[in-house]
Chains A and B, each alone.
Chain A
Amino acid sequence: MIDKTTNQKAWFLVAPVVVLVAFNALIPLMTVVNYSVQETFGDNIFFWEGVKWFEQVLHSERFHDSLLRQLSFTSIILLIEVPLGVAVALSMPKKGPWVSVCLVLMALPLLIPWNVVGAMWNIFALPDIGLLGRMINGIGFDYNFTQQPTAAWFTVILMDVWHWTSLVTLLAYAGLCSIPDAYYQAARIDGASSWSVFRYIQLPKMKRVLTIAILLRFMDSFMIYTEPFVLTGGGPGNSTTFLSIDLVKIALGQFDLGPAAAMSLIYFLIILLLSWVFYTLMMRNEEQ
C-alpha cells in the first residue's frame, strides 16, 4: 500500500473526470427523478404525483416477477461461471506458447458486440437450422427455445456462460500467476494434497481477483439487456423478461414514463446497495 500524502490540489487532476461523468450521470439522473414524481399527458405539462409511481411499482406483480427472474438468472450464472472459470484457470498451462493462444481464444467472446452474441446464439440454437438445436433434438430431447420457457432459460444461461466465463477465468488466472513457485515447492516437500494446495495456497491468492470477478459479473448480469432481447425477445411469453427488458418495454414500448422512471430508480438502488456490499468487502480485503 502506498503511503498517501494529503494534497487538496489533487482535485484539479480529478476535475475533468468529475465534469464529464457528472454531465452524463447527474443530468439524466435528474430527468429520471423528475419523471418519477410527476404525471404527464404530453406537451411538457406535468402534474405532481409524489410517491404514487413508486408505490405502484413496488406493489405490482409484474415488477416482482421480473425481479425474481433477474435474481434467479444472476444467481444461476454466478453459481456456474465462478466455479467453471476457476476450474479452467487451474488447468491452464503456466508458461509456453500455448498460454497466449489460450488467452486470446478465451477472450474472444468478450469482444463480440452484444447483439451479435444474441444473433449468433439465435442461429446456433434454432431447432431447424442451428447446430446446437439440431444436436439436442438429435440425441432425443424435444428442444425449441422459441416455444418452451425451460428451453429458453437453458439457452439464455448457456449463452451467458459462453459469453462471460472467460472473464472469471482470466481474473483467476491472473491471481494464480502471482503465486511464487516457492510456495508450490514448499507444499510438495510437506506432501500436501492437491486439495490442500488449492484450499490454502491458490484460493487465498485468488480471493481478491475473484471478488472483482463476482462484482463485475453481478453488476453486468443484473443489467443484461441486449443478448437475451435479441435471442428470445423476452419470451416465450414473459419467461425471459429480465428487469432491463421489462423497463425498456414500459418506457419506450408503452411510454409510461412515470412508472418507468420510478422502476429505474428502484432498480438502480438495488444494484447500488448490493454492489456497495461487494465493494466494501473487497476494500476490506485490500486493506488487510
Chain B
Amino acid sequence: MKGFKWLTPTLYILFLMLPIYWLISMSFKTTNEILGHFSLWPQEFTLDNYVKIFTDPTWYNGYFNSITYVVINTLISVSVALPAAYAFSRYRFLGDKHLFFWLLTNRMAPAAVFALPFFQLYSAVGLFDTPWAVALAHCLFNIPLAVWILEGFMSGVPKELDETAFVDGYSFWRFFTKIFLPTIAAGIGVAMFFCFMFSWVELLLAKTLTSVAAKPIAATMTRTASTAGYELGLLAAAGTLTIIPGAIVIWFVRNNIAKGFALGRV
C-alpha cells in the first residue's frame, strides 16, 4: 500500500489537467479542424488565434481592464483591512463580535442579488463603466475575506511584540509600519493573493458594472461566443491567456498557500 501513495495525487492532478490541456490544445487549432475532425492534439498547428488577440484592441484592452480593477481592488482591500484586522486581533470593543459577523455576511451575499442595485448605485455616483466601479464593488466580498485572513495571521503574533515596542517608545503608527507589518509579511502576501484571486475570477458584477470602456476580458469572451459566430479557437486562446496571471501569482505564494487557504488559522 505504502509504495502507491503517490498514485492518488497523481491521478487527481491528471484529472485537473485534462480540461486545461484540451483548452490549450484547442487554442492552437484552426476552426475547421475543431469542427471538422476530432484529434487529440493540433494537426495543423496555428498561432492565428493568439495573433488576433494581441493585435485587436477590443481583445487586449480587456486584459488591461481586468488587471486594472483587480490591482486597484487588491490594494484598497488589503490596506483598509490591515488596521481593522489589527483591531479585531488585539482589542475588545463595543460590538466587535457582531461587526465581525456582519462583515462575513457580506461574503455570503450572492452577486446575483446585488447585480441590479449595484448597477443603479454606481450609475448614480457616476462611476459606471470605470475600473473603479468594479474595484469598489468587489470590496464587498474581498474586504471581509482580507480581514478574516489577516486577523488569523495577526492572532499568531504574540502580544508581547506590541508591548515591548510601546515600552521602547514607538508610536502606534511607527510600530505598525516598521515592526508589525514586516512580521506578518507572509499573511499580507496571502491576503493579496486571495483578493487578486476572487476579483479576477468574478464576472457577474464586473460585467454588470461595465459596458465598453472598462469591459473585462472575461466579458469580451462571452460577446465573441454569441455574436461573431462560433470561433472556438479564439475563445480557447483567450481562455488560456486568462489562466496565466493566476499561475504567476500562485508561484509567488506557493510556500504559504496551504496556510493561506486555512485563513492563517492553523
Taking Cβ atoms with an 8 Å cutoff, the residues of A that contact B are 1-11, 13-14, 16-18, 20-21, 23-25, 27-29, 31-32, 84, 87-88, 91-93, 100, 102-116, 119-121, 123-124, 128-132, 134, 162, 165-167, 169-171, 173-175, 177-178, 208-209, 212, 219, 222-223, 225-226, 230, 243-245, 247-248, 251-252, 257, 260, 264, 267-268, 271-272, 275-276, 279, 286
Chain A-chain B contacts (Cβ-Cβ < 8 Å), number: 284
Number of interface residues of B (CB under 8 A): 98
Cα-based distance from A121 to B18 in the complex (angstroms): 10
A residues in contact with B67, CB < 8 Å: none
Task: Pick from B22, B88, B90, B140: contact of A24, CB below 8 A.
Answer: B140
CB of A25 within 8 A of CB of B109, answer yes
CB of A223 within 8 A of CB of B117, answer no
B241 to chain A: closest CB distance in Å? 10
CB of A225 within 8 A of CB of B218, answer no
CB of B92 within 8 A of CB of A21, answer no
Given contacts A100-B254, A120-B19, A123-B236, is CB(A134)–CB(B221) below 8 Å? Answer: no
Cα-based distance from A32 to B111 in the complex (angstroms): 13
CB of B110 within 8 A of CB of A223, answer yes
Asked if B103 CB lies within 8 Å of chain A CBs, one says yes
Asked if B184 CB lies within 8 Å of chain A CBs, one says no
Cα-based distance from A2 to B218 in the complex (angstroms): 43
B residues in contact with A114, CB < 8 Å: 201-203, 218
Query: In B1-53, which residues have CB < 8 Å from any A CB?
Result: 5-9, 12-13, 15-20, 22-23, 26, 34-35, 38, 40
CB of A105 within 8 A of CB of B112, answer no
B155 to chain A: closest CB distance in Å? 6
Cα-based distance from A132 to B26 in the complex (angstroms): 14
B151 to chain A: closest CB distance in Å? 10
B residues in contact with A3, CB < 8 Å: 159
Chain B, interface SS category: helix
Closest-by-CB residue of A relative to B95 is: A11
A109 to chain B: closest CB distance in Å? 6
Asked if B143 CB lies within 8 Å of chain A CBs, one says yes
Asked if B94 CB lies within 8 Å of chain A CBs, one says yes
Chain A, interface SS category: helix
CB of A16 within 8 A of CB of B109, answer no
CB of A20 within 8 A of CB of B139, answer yes
Cα-based distance from A170 to B266 in the complex (angstroms): 12
B195 to chain A: closest CB distance in Å? 12
Asked if B232 CB lies within 8 Å of chain A CBs, one says yes
CB of B243 within 8 A of CB of A5, answer no
CB of B117 within 8 A of CB of A31, answer yes
Given contacts A91-B8, A251-B115, A267-B110, is CB(A115)–CB(B16) below 8 Å? Answer: no
The 10 closest A-B pairs by CB, nearest first: A111-B246, A28-B117, A174-B262, A10-B91, A31-B117, A13-B87, A10-B87, A13-B83, A244-B112, A174-B258
CB of A116 within 8 A of CB of B261, answer no
Asked if B136 CB lies within 8 Å of chain A CBs, one says yes
Cα-based distance from A131 to B21 in the complex (angstroms): 10
Cα-based distance from A166 to B118 in the complex (angstroms): 31
CB of B107 within 8 A of CB of A219, answer yes
CB of B200 within 8 A of CB of A208, answer no
A residues in contact with B18, CB < 8 Å: 124, 131-132
A284 to chain B: closest CB distance in Å? 13
Task: Pick from B94, B246, B251: contact of A112, CB below 8 A.
Answer: B246
A residues in contact with B88, CB < 8 Å: 14
B residues in contact with A121, CB < 8 Å: 19
Query: In B191-235, which residues have CB < 8 Å from any A CB?
Result: 197, 200-204, 217-218, 221-222, 225, 232, 235
Task: Pick from B8, B113, B249: contact of A111, CB below 8 A.
Answer: B249
Closest-by-CB residue of A relative to B21 is: A131
Closest-by-CB residue of B relative to A88 is: B12
A residues in contact with B242, CB < 8 Å: 112-113, 116
Task: Pick from A28, A91, A286: contact of B5, CB below 8 A.
Answer: A91
B residues in contact with A130, CB < 8 Å: 22
Closest-by-CB residue of A relative to B148 is: A212
Cα-based distance from A23 to B197 in the complex (angstroms): 23
CB of A175 within 8 A of CB of B262, answer yes
Q: List 26 A-B contacts (CB under 8 A).
A: A2-B159, A4-B91, A5-B90, A9-B93, A16-B80, A16-B84, A25-B106, A103-B258, A110-B201, A111-B245, A112-B243, A115-B218, A116-B242, A123-B23, A123-B235, A131-B18, A162-B15, A162-B19, A174-B261, A226-B204, A230-B222, A243-B112, A251-B115, A267-B110, A268-B108, A268-B113
A residues in contact with B217, CB < 8 Å: 113
Asked if B167 CB lies within 8 Å of chain A CBs, one says no
CB of A272 within 8 A of CB of B87, answer no
